[in-house]
C-alpha cells in the first residue's frame, strides 16, 4: 500500500513522466513564438498544430475544429459567450440544465443582464435530464434560442447525460448545442460525430494534461465571437501567446488517453463497483448519488447521513485517503451544492457528501483500505453528531 | 488553512458527548450552512462543573465546540456568559475568514445551555425582554439564543 | 559568437533553468487542486499565494491586488471587459489610444456593438499620447467614461507613455485608468503606486516566465466582472483550475526580474544604442521608429526604405539573426501596422519595418554581427527592388 | 510555412534585374499589401528571349517572380500569356493560403509587359475592348493589366 490513497482525480491528476518529458524542450530550447515569421516560429506553429490533430483524434474531430484554451472553464465560457454573442440581437434565450458546472451556469446568467432569458432544465433524482423537457421549450419557441448547453458527465455525481438525443432534438429545431465534456473526455470514449454536438468542452487536467490547459471543439462553420479578443492566434478566435509547452502536454496526454481506454474503463468500473458495494454494506444510512449505471467508470459518490463532508474529508486525509465533498461547509458560498439540490437531496443529507474519483493507478487494495477506514471515520463523527440516532 | 490549534482540537476533540442528566441543554442550528451543535452543562455552586457537546458540522465547528468546552469548564456562569466568538477564535489561533461564523455556533449553544439552566433552576426566565414571568419574550432573542 | 543571434525577446523569451526547476514538482508530485479542502490542496493554495506576493512585489502592489491569467491578452480583456461591464448601464464610453495592442483595441471595439462609443487618442510621430487630448475629452463628458486605457510601453516601436500624467488626469475626473504594461513589467521598473493606475496588465513570457502566464493588477476595490465566469478561483474573478506550475514559473521569473534590474537596463541601453547608431550609419535611408529617449532599454526599431520586412526577416534568419517586423505582408490582415500608421509612417516605408528586442544575454559582438549582416541583406533586397533608386 | 521550392527561389532568385532596352515593361502594385513588381521582356521571333524583374515584396512575391521568369523564358508570347497564378503556385509546390494573392503579382506583371510589347510593336492596341485604334479601352482592363 502506498502511503497516500489518492481518489480525487476529478479535481486534479498528476502529469505523467512522458508528458512532462514532451513539454520540457518548449520552455527553453524551442521557445519561439508561433506567430513569428521565421523558421523557428513556423516550427513552433507546426508543433501546436500537431497537438491540435492529436486532440482532434481523441474526440473524432478535425484539427481545425479544435481551439486551445487555458481551462475547461474558459472553454465553457468561450462556447457560451462566443456563440451567444455571435447571434446577439437575433436570439435572446439560453437553455441549460440544473446540474451544470458554475462556468456554464454563470456564463449563461451573465446574459440575463443583457436582457436574455435563461431556462434551466430539471433533472431527475439520479441527475438525468429528460429530453422531453427540452422538447417542450423548443417546441414553444426555438427561433429565440441562441444555445442549449447540457453537460456530458457530472464530476460530482458521475451521471452521464443523453447527449445524442438532446443534440438531435436541437438540430431538429435548428438550434446550436454545446456539451461540457470536461469530466468525460479522456475518461470514456467521446466522439463528436456520434454525439452530434456543435460545441464541446475539454479540460486537460481531467486526463493527465497539465493544469492551465483545455480546448473547445467547435463544429466547422460554427460562428464564435472570441472570449479573449486580440490578435490572430487560434485563427482570430482566442488571442494571447500560445502556451506551447502546455499545448504539447495536452496533445501528448490526449494521445496517451486513447491507449487501452476500454481496458482502463473495465478496470475502473470494477474498482468503482467494489467501492460502492462495500460502502453500502459497511456504512449504514448512506445514499448513493447519481445514476447507478449511466455513470463515469471510476466515479463513486455518496451522501452519508449525520456527518459533515469537510470534517469527513479531513479525517480521511489523516488516514492518507484523499477524496472530495460537495458539502455546504466546504463550498465558498456555504450553500448546499446546486447539483445535490437539483437531485432533491435534503440539505442535511447533502452535508454528508463524499466523492471518490479513481484512476487506473488505484488498486483493489486501496479500495479495501478505504472500506476499512471509512466506516471507522464515519462512526467517530457520528458519535459526536447530535442528529445521529442509532 | 487551519491553525495547528484547530487541527489539534479536531484530531482529539475534548469533552465530546452527552450529559444525560444535564442541568442545562442548548442547541443551535447554523443558519449559514445548516449544521447543528448541542451543549450540555452540569452546574454546581454557580460553576460549570461539567460540559459536553455534540456537533454536526465542519472541522472548524468541531474545533470550536472543543475549544469552548475547555474554556468554560470550571468557570462561573458569569464568566462563561461573557465568552464571545472573538475569544474562541483567538484561543484557536484564528480561523479562516469564511469559517468565522462557525465560532458563533459554540458561544451560542453554550449561552443557550446556560439560559436553559437558569430558566429551569430559578423557575424564571432571565430574559430581559419579557414583562413578567408568564409573558413570552418580546424581542425574539429567546428563539435565537441571543441572551446578554 | 553563438550560432543564433536571437533579438526577438518581445515575441518570446526562453525560460531560465531555475524557473523550470521551480515549476517541475508541481506537474507530478505536488499536483493537488488548490481548491480542495485537504492538506495537499491547502499547500497548493499556499504556493499560489506565495507567487501572488512575488508578482505583487515586482510592481509594488499588494498580493490581493494580483489576479493570475493565461496571457497578457487575457489580462487586457479582463481589465477592459471586466471594468466596463461592471458599470454597464451607467457609462457608455471607452477611451484608448491609436497604438494599443489588438487585445486592448478589440476589447474596446467589442463594446461598440453593445452601444458604446470608443474614442481613440492620437499619438505624435514618435508614438507619444499627449495628455491634452485626453483632457479635452474628459472635460467634455467624463461622467460617461467607463474606462481609459493607454499602454505603458509599445513592443513594436519601443515608446514609453506618460502614464502618471494620464492616470492623474483620469482620477481628477473620477475615471478608471488601465495601462497595458505587458511590454514593460520585468524590463523596466514598474510601480503601480507611482503610476497611480487602477488596472495594469502583465505578460509572463515578456520576462522569462513560461508561455500561458500573465496577471492583472487591480487596485483594491476596483469592481471587475469576470471574463471567465465560474467557480471560486481567484476569489471569484477568474474561474478555471489554477495553472499551478505556470504560476510558480511566473512568480519565480518575477523574483528574478527584480535582481539587478538597473544594471541590466544600463547594459541593454548601451547595446541598443550601439545597434541604433550602427544601423543609421551603415544603412542609408533608414528611419528610426518610436521615441529616441523615452523607449524600452533593449528596443531598436527601424523602417528601411524600399525593402519588405518579411523578406528581410527571412534573409536575416538565414544568417542566424532573429528579429521581428510589422510589415503588412507579415501580418495576417495584410494591412499596414496600425501602430506605424498612427505615427504617420507612409505605407511603403512601413513595409520595411524591422524590430530588434534584446535581452541581457545579447552581447556587443552579436550587435556587431548584426551591423555586419544587415547592410548586406538590405543591399541584396534593394538590388532587386523596383522602388530603390540610389 | 513555405515550401522547399519557394525557399530555393527566395534564396537564389533567378533572372533578377532590369533589361535596359526591353521590348516590353510591365509594372503592378499589389493592392492587398502595397508591394510592387516590374517585369522586363526581350522578344525575338514571337518568343521571350530574355526576361528580368524587380520585386518589392515578401518572400512569396520574390519566389513568384523568379518562378514566373523561369516558366516563360524561351516560351512564345502565346504560351506566356496563358500563364495563370494557379500554374505559378503549383510550380512553387504550393503557397500558404494568405500568400496566394502574391502569385497574381507575377502573372499580372508579365501580362502587362507583353501587352506593352504588343502595343509598341504592332503600333496598335491589342485590347479587345476598344472599338478602333484611337478609342480607349471601354472595360478598364488596360488599367488593371487584365489582358486576356
Ligand atoms: C503591449 C502588449 N500587450 C499585450 C500583449 C499580449 O501579451 P500575451 O502574448 O501574453 O497575450 C503583448 C505581446 O507582445 C504586448 O506587447
Ligand atoms: C463538468 C466540468 N466542467 C468544467 C470544469 C472546469 O474545468 P477546469 O478546471 O479545467 O476549468 C470541471 C472541473 O472539474 C468540470 O468537472
Ligand atoms: S459548520 Fe459549516 S462551515 Fe463550519
Ligand atoms: S507581397 Fe505582400 S504578402 Fe506577398
CB contact under 8 A, C322 and A40: yes
Say what the pLDDT of residue A232 is.
80
Which is the catalytic residue, given A170, A288, A303, A329?
A: A329
The nearest CA of chain D is from the CA of C180 a distance in Å of: 29
Task: Please give the Cα distance from D37 to D53 (Å, whole number).
Answer: 7
Task: Please give the Cα distance from A268 to A265 (Å, whole number).
Answer: 5
**Closest ligand to A156 CA?**
2
User: Is some CB atom of chain A closer than 8 A to the CB atom of C241?
Assistant: yes
Say what the pLDDT of residue A332 is.
84
Residue B84 has pLDDT above 60, yes or no: yes
B1 contacts in chain C (CB < 8 Å): 37, 42, 45
Say what the pLDDT of residue B139 is.
54
**Averaged over C147-169, what is the pLDDT?**
98
Binned at pLDDT 50, 70 and 90, residue B147 comes out as very low
- Backbone torsions φ then ψ of D61, nearest 5 degrees: -60, -40
Say what the pLDDT of residue C104 is.
98
Q: Which helix (H) or strand (E) holds C22?
A: helix C17-23
Mean pLDDT of chain C: 96
* Closest to B107 measured CA to CA, from B136, B139, B79: B79
Task: Please give the Cα distance from C118 to A229 (Å, whole number).
Answer: 16
Say what the pLDDT of residue C231 is.
81
Instruction: Confirm if C289 and C157 have CB atoms less than 8 A apart.
Output: yes
Say what the pLDDT of residue D32 is.
86
A108 three-class SS = helix
How is B58-98 classified by DSSP, letter by letter? -HHHHHHHHHHHHHHTT-BHHHHHT--HHHHHHHTT---GG
Binned at pLDDT 50, 70 and 90, residue C79 comes out as very high
Give the bridge partners for B131, in sequence order: none
State the pTM of this model. 0.94
Look at ligand 4, atom 3, and give the residue with the nearest C-alpha: C329
Instruction: Confirm if D50 and D19 have CB atoms less than 8 A apart.
Output: yes
**Averaged over B60-87, what is the pLDDT?**
96
Residue D133 has pLDDT above 60, yes or no: no
From B14, which residue of chain A is nearest by alpha-carbon distance? A384
Instruction: Confirm if A150 and A164 have CB atoms less than 8 A apart.
Output: no
Q: Which helix (H) or strand (E) holds A261?
A: helix A261-282
Q: Among C182, C290, C299, C324, say which to mutate for ligand 1: greatest number of ligand atoms within 8 Å of CB.
A: C182
Map grid coordinates 500624467 to a residue: C165
CB contact under 8 A, D36 and C387: yes
Radius of gyration of chain D (CA): 15
Name every residue in A having a CB less than 8 A away from some CB of B. 306-308, 310-311, 314, 318, 327-330, 332, 334-336, 347-348, 351, 383-388
Residue A329: active-site member = yes
Higher pLDDT, C51 or D123: C51
Instruction: Confirm if C167 and C194 have CB atoms less than 8 A apart.
Output: no
CB contact under 8 A, B98 and A332: yes
* Closest to C6 measured CA to CA, from C243, C352, C298, C250: C298
Say what the pLDDT of residue B144 is.
45
**DSSP conformation class of A240:** S
Instruction: Confirm if A235 and C273 have CB atoms less than 8 A apart.
Output: no
In angstroms, what is the span from residue A148 Cα to ligand 2's centroid?
A: 18
Whether B34 is in a domain gets the answer yes
D57: CATH = 3.90.1010.10
Binned at pLDDT 50, 70 and 90, residue C36 comes out as very high
**Averaged over B67-87, what is the pLDDT?**
95
From A38, which residue of chain D is nearest by alpha-carbon distance? D1
Binned at pLDDT 50, 70 and 90, residue C232 comes out as confident
Task: Please give the Cα distance from A61 to A64 (Å, whole number).
Answer: 8
C380-384: long-range pairs with CB below 8 Å, 24+: C380/C315, C381/C306, C381/C307, C381/C308, C381/C311, C381/C312, C381/C315, C382/C306, C382/C307, C383/D16, C384/D13, C384/D16, C384/D17, C384/D53, C384/D54, C384/D55, C384/D62
CB of B62 within 6 A of ligand 3: the answer is: no
Mean pLDDT of chain D: 87
Whether D146 is in a domain gets the answer no
**Averaged over C257-267, what is the pLDDT?**
96
**Averaged over C286-305, what is the pLDDT?**
97
C-alpha cell of residue C374: 544587415
How is C243-288 classified by DSSP, letter by letter? -HHHHHHHHHHHHHHHTTHHHHHHHHHHHHHHHHHHHHHHSSSEEE
In angstroms, what is the span from residue C264 Cα to ligand 1's centroid?
A: 22
**Averaged over B16-38, what is the pLDDT?**
94
Size of interface A-B (CB pairs under 8 A): 62
Which among C12, C41, C212 has CB closest to A33? C12
Say what the pLDDT of residue B30 is.
87
C-alpha cell of residue C102: 489588438
Say what the pLDDT of residue A252 is.
98
Task: Please give the Cα distance from B66 to B64 (Å, whole number).
Answer: 5
Whether D111 is in a domain gets the answer yes
Q: Among C75, C96, C105, C203, say which to mutate for ligand 1: greatest number of ligand atoms within 8 Å of CB.
A: C203
Which among A14, A76, A107 has CB closest to C31? A14
Say what the pLDDT of residue B28 is.
95
In angstroms, what is the span from residue B60 Cα to ligand 3's centroid?
A: 7
Instruction: Confirm if A24 and C20 have CB atoms less than 8 A apart.
Output: yes
Give the bridge partners for A68, in sequence order: A215
From A305, which residue of chain B is nearest by alpha-carbon distance? B56
A355 three-class SS = strand
Higher pLDDT, D121 or D36: D36
Domain total of chain D: 1
pLDDT in tens, C210-220: 999 999 999 99
Mean pLDDT of chain B: 87
Low-confidence ranges of chain A (pLDDT < 50): 1
In angstroms, what is the span from residue A365 Cα to ligand 1's centroid?
A: 50
- E-state strands within chain C: 5-6, 66-69, 93-97, 117-121, 145-149, 177-180, 199-203, 214-218, 286-288, 299-304, 321-322, 353-357
**Averaged over C164-190, what is the pLDDT?**
98
Whether D145 is in a domain gets the answer no
Residue D141 has pLDDT above 70, yes or no: no
**In a mutagenesis test of the A interface, which of C212, C253, C332 is the best target, namely the one with the most A β-carbons within 10 Å?**
C212
Whether D73 is in a domain gets the answer yes
Say what the pLDDT of residue B148 is.
37
Which among C28, C212, C243 has CB closest to A14? C28
**CB atoms inside a 10 Å sphere around CB C189:** 14
Instruction: Confirm if B2 and A314 have CB atoms less than 8 A apart.
Output: no
Q: Both ends of chain B: CA-CA distance in Å? A: 32
Q: Which helix (H) or strand (E) holds B53?
A: strand B47-56
**Averaged over B22-48, what is the pLDDT?**
94
Whether D136 is in a domain gets the answer no
A308 contacts in chain B (CB < 8 Å): 35, 56-58, 61
Map grid coordinates 454494506 to a residue: A281
Higher pLDDT, B85 or B123: B85
Residues 6 or more apart in contact with residue C55 via CB below 8 angstroms: C61, C66, C202, C215, C250, C251, C254
Of all residues in chain C, the percent with pLDDT exceeding 70 is 99
- Backbone torsions φ then ψ of A93, nearest 5 degrees: -135, 145
Residue B132 has pLDDT above 90, yes or no: no
CA distances from C317 to C184, C197, C312, D12 (A): 26, 39, 9, 15
| Full domain range(s) for residue D83 | 4-118
- Burial-class residue B12 by CB neighbours within 10 Å (0-12, 13-18, 19+): exposed
Say what the pLDDT of residue A201 is.
98
Residues 6 or more apart in contact with residue A376 via CB below 8 angstroms: none
**Averaged over C167-183, what is the pLDDT?**
98
CB of B30 within 6 A of ligand 3: the answer is: yes
How is A306-341 classified by DSSP, letter by letter? TS-HHHHHHHHHHTTEE-B---GGGSTT-S--HHHH
Contact partners for chain B, using 3 or more CB pairs closer than 8 A, are A, C
In angstroms, what is the span from residue A154 Cα to ligand 2's centroid?
A: 9
Amino acid at each position: 500500500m502506498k502511503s497516500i490513497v489518492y481518489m480525487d482525480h476529478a479535481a486534479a491528476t498528476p502529469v505523467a513522466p512522458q508528458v512532462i518529458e514532451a513539454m520540457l524542450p518548449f520552455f527553453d530550447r524551442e521557445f519561439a513564438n508561433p506567430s513569428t515569421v521565421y523558421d523557428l516560429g513556423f516550427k513552433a506553429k507546426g508543433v501546436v498544430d500537431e497537438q491540435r490533430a492529436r486532440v482532434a483524434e481523441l474526440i473524432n474531430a478535425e484539427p481545425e475544429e479544435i481551439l486551445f484554451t487555458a481551462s475547461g472553464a474558459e472553454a465553457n465560457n468561450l462556447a457560451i459567450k462566443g456563440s451567444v454573442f455571435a447571434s446577439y440581437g437575433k436570439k435572446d434565450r439560453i437553455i441549460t440544465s440544473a446540474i451544470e458546472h458554475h462556468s456554464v451556469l454563470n456564463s449563461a446568467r451573465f446574459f440575463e443582464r443583457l436582457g436574455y432569458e435563461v431556462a434551466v432544465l430539471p433533472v431527475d433524482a439520479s441527475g438525468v435530464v429528460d429530453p422531453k423537457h427540452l422538447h417542450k421549450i423548443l417546441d414553444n419557441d426555438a427561433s429565440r434560442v441562441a444555445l442549449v448547453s447540457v453537460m456530458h458527465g457530472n464530476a460530482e455525481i458521475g451521471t452521464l447525460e443523453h447527449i445524442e438525443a438532446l443534440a438531435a432534438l436541437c438540430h431538429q429545431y435548428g438550434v446550436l448545442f454545446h456539451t461540457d465534456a470536461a469530466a468525460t473526455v479522456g475518461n470514456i470514449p467521446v466522439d463528436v460525430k456520434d454525439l452530434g454536438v456543435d460545441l464541446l468542452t475539454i479540460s486537460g487536467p481531467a486526463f493527465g494534461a497539465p493544469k492551465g490547459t483545455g480546448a473547445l471543439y467547435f463544429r466547422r462553420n460554427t460562428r464564435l465571437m472570441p472570449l479573449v479578443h486580440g490578435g490572430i492566434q487560434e485563427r482570430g478566435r482566442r488571442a494571447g501567446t500560445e502556451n506551447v509547452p502546455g499545448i504539447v502536454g495536452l496533445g501528448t496526454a490526449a494521445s496517451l488517453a486513447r491507449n487501452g481506454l476500454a481496458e482502463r474503463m473495465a478496470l475502473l468500473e470494477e474498482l468503482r463497483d467494489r467501492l460502492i458495494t462495500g460502502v453500502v454494506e459497511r456504512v449504514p444510512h448512506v445514499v448513493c448519488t447519481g445514476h447507478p449505471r449511466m455513470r463515469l467508470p471510476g466515479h463513486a459518490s455518496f451522501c452519508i447521513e449525520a456527518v459533515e463532508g469537510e470534517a469527513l474529508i479531513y479525517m480521511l486525509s489523516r488516514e492518507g485517503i484523499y477524496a472530495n465533498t460537495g458539502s455546504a461547509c466546504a463550498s465558498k458560498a456555504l450553500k448546499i451544492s446546486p447539483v445535490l439540490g437539483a437531485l432533491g437531496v435534503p440539505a442535511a443529507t447533502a452535508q454528508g457528501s463524499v466523492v471518490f474519483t479513481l484512476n487506473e493507478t488505484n488498486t483493489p487494495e486501496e479500495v479495501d483500505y478505504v472500506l476499512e477506514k471509512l466506516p471507522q471515520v464515519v462512526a467517530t463523527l457520528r458519535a459526536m453528531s447530535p442528529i445521529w440516532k442509532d | 488553512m487551519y491553525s495547528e490549534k484547530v487541527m489539534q482540537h479536531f484530531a482529539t476533540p475534548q469533552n465530546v458527548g452527552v450529559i444525560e442528566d444535564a442541568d442545562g441543554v442548548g442547541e443551535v442550528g447554523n443558519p449559514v450552512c445548516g449544521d447543528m451543535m448541542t451543549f450540555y452543562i452540569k452546574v454546581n455552586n454557580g460553576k460549570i462543573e461539567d460540559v459536553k457537546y455534540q456537533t454536526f458540522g465542519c472541522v472548524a465547528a468541531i474545533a470550536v465546540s472543543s475549544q469552548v468546552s475547555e474554556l468554560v469548564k470550571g468557570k462561573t456562569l458569569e464568566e462563561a456568559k461573557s465568552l464571545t466568538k472573538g475569544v474562541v477564535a483567538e484561543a484557536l489561533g484564528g480561523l479562516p475568514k469564511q469559517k468565522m461564523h462557525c465560532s458563533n455556533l459554540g458561544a451560542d449553544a453554550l449561552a443557550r445551555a446556560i439560559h436553559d439552566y437558569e430558566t429551569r433552576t430559578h423557575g424564571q426566565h432571565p430574559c430581559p425582554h419579557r414583562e413578567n414571568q408568564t409573558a413570552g419574550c418580546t424581542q425574539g432573542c429567546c428563539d435565537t439564543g441571543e441572551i446578554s
